[in-house]
Amino acid sequence: MERCPFENELILVSNRGPISYTRGEDGELKTVRGGGGLVTALLGVAASCEITWIASAMTPEDAEISIRVGGGSTKVTHDEHRLGLRFVVSDPEVYNKFYNIIANPLIWFIQHYLWDLSVVPDIRHNEFEAWENGYQVVNREFADVVCDELDARGNERPVVMLHDYHLYTCPSLVRERHPEAFLHQFVHIPWPQSDSWRVLPRHIRQAIVRGLLANDIVAFHTQRYVRNFLVSCEELIGAEVEVDFARSVVIVAGREVWVRAYPISIDCADFERLAESESVLEEERYIEALRREYLVLRVDRMDLSKNIVRGFKAFDMFLDDHPEFKQRITFLALLQPSRGDVKEYNTYRQQIMREVEVINTKHGTTNWMPIDVRMQDNFMRSVAAYKQFDVLMVNAIYDGMNLIAKEAGLINRHDGVLILSENTGAHEELGEYCLSVNPFDLESQSEAIYQALIMEKDEKSRRAGMIRDTVKHNDIQKWIETQFVDIKAKMTEKAEAT
Ligand code: G6P
């Protein structure tokens, strides 16, 4: 990969960092890689630039390391890349309000249209308090650390790249103290239509939009989210801004903010290597042993936005309509536990298990279980299953991108068919080659399972090939490089304006 196109160092800022520390049974500190696609993608940035990564201390051991280095950064090696890692240590109660009351569920649910507005959410003292004494405090703590890093570098002017919905108000706090800073923020989840934000009281929704507009560039995965954001600026703080839709720019307080789409992807070469690794091959034998003639697969974080229950209901309908497939097919669901401290997630987990029990009791036999659910975090097993599926179900209600569709599409060995929700970011790129479904339409999902199973071999192979080519053509390097090109252009524009 090319080096950064500019001299400046990068400061990455995200809630979850690349590495977390824990203590092994022997009492020794050991590192665990931060989960999720975001960390993987950002490690790609680390491969090409000198970076310092600022992230929340997730464990007591992270906090311990932070104290050991006097609150500063520590050098760590990850996948052969050296990077500086600096933890933001928050009081656990403050962090709980930030993460478990405001970021997840309140903001996450708004951005994925998950609230059933006739009954939830209730915004009471608890939520107002969690906004002031949780979300805002953690954002301020992040801003303090970012400012500290900027102060330490003086005229070197590093580029600050912030990530995601945890840090919406951080940029305005940095901008106040460092008007000259170069701030870039990537929102990795959908940006919904502007009225969705009216769930939040005015001062909160406005602080979110103002915070984002303190950046020089605000980035999303798709053009749809870009449009929604531009409209939100006009609708929610119209008196303060001028929105230029043609140039995709918002003018605020004499500054121009670029709003751009960069569809995130995966490191294809790395992923293909991983697919051939011994640990994946071993898991593949496990998958081969459990599969029958056909394997329907879903791999998801256990999140309400992933639409897991409706996927099972559609499979139930499929078995009703096509009993000839009974005994010959397994729906394997590999679900990683997530956000267990948020009550909505716990209720959802119970709902999933209830639905599976009903369907397995209805259709299953003593030697055949139609749905096989594994609630665990076993990445190697997921990769092995990616290679083996005949049908991949990605029916998310809304999803910023959905990297599962890309990862699995790249390495599948069966010319498997992708069933993809039209409300995923990935649909903008892969929509032509998948069986496209509306996530609420159970009929279409059930029919898509059937169509995938009876599809002609040549057609399956053509579609699978197109998915592979599309993913390879826009892989993670392209995602990073196109952002670097824009950052450089925006820096030049800023320099010329002063
Ligand atoms: C998903 C989203 C990311 C987000 C992450 C947070 O992966 O796509 O945009 O940052 O969730 O997950 P966490 O496990 O840290 O709550």
Please tell us whether the domain made up of 10-264+478-497 is placed in CATH 3.40.50.2000: yes
Ligand 1 in reach of 34 Cβ (< 6 A): no
Looking at the CA of residue 338, tell me the nearest atom of ligand 1.
14
pTM given for the model: 0.97
**Spatial separation of the C-alpha atoms in residues 321 and 316, rounded to whole Å:** 9
Tokens of 157: 């002017």
| Beta pairing partners, 12 | 53, 161
Q: How far is the CA of 36 from the centre of ligand 1 (A)?
A: 6
**Spatial separation of the C-alpha atoms in residues 65 and 130, rounded to whole Å:** 27
**Spatial separation of the C-alpha atoms in residues 3 and 81, rounded to whole Å:** 13
Query: Which among 475, 77, 110 has a CA at the least distance from the CA of 265?
Result: 475
For a mutational test of ligand 1's pocket, the pick from 38, 302, 336, 379, i.e. the residue with the most ligand atoms closer than 8 A to its C-beta, is 38
Query: Which residue has its alpha carbon closest to ligand 1 atom 9?
Result: 188
Break the chain into its structural domains and give their ranges: 10-264+478-497, 268-473
Looking at the CA of residue 35, tell me the nearest atom of ligand 1.
14
Q: Extract the runs of DSSP E, i.e. beta strands, from 57-133.
A: 74-78, 81-88
The string of DSSP codes covering 335-347 is EE---TTSHHHHH
> In this structure, are residues 385 and 297 in contact, taking their beta carbons and an 8 Å threshold?
yes
The backbone torsions φ and ψ at residue 68, rounded to the nearest 5 degrees and listed phi first, read -60, -35
Assign residue 130 a region: left if phi > 0, alpha if psi is -120 to 50, beta otherwise?
Answer: alpha
Query: Which residue has its alpha carbon closest to ligand 1 atom 11?
Result: 36
Ligand 1 in reach of 149 Cβ (< 6 A): no
Q: Do domains 10-264+478-497 and 268-473 have the same CATH topology?
A: yes
Looking at the CA of residue 339, tell me the nearest atom of ligand 1.
16
pLDDT by residue for the chain (498 residues), tens only, comes to 455 666 678 999 999 999 999 999 999 999 988 877 778 788 877 777 889 999 999 999 999 999 999 998 988 887 777 889 999 999 999 999 999 999 999 999 999 999 999 999 999 999 999 999 999 999 999 999 999 999 999 888 899 999 999 999 999 999 999 999 999 999 999 999 999 999 999 999 999 999 999 999 999 999 999 999 999 999 999 999 999 999 999 999 999 999 999 999 999 999 999 999 999 999 999 999 999 999 999 999 999 999 999 999 999 999 999 999 999 999 999 999 999 999 999 999 999 999 999 999 999 999 999 999 999 999 999 999 999 999 999 999 999 999 999 999 999 999 999 999 999 999 999 999 999 999 999 999 999 999 999 999 999 999 999 999 999 999 999 999 999 999 999 999 999 987
- CATH fold label, 268-473: Rossmann fold (3.40.50)
Cα distance from N-terminal residue to C-terminal residue, the chain: 33
The backbone torsions φ and ψ at residue 25, rounded to the nearest 5 degrees and listed phi first, read -60, -25
| Beta pairing partners, 20 | 32
**Spatial separation of the C-alpha atoms in residues 429 and 427, rounded to whole Å:** 5
Ligand 1 in reach of 303 Cβ (< 6 A): no
Neighbour tally for 267: CB within 10 Å = 21
The string of DSSP codes covering 265-328 is ---HHHHHHHHTSHHHHHHHHHHHHH--SEEEEEEEES-GGG-HHHHHHHHHHHHHH-GGGTTT
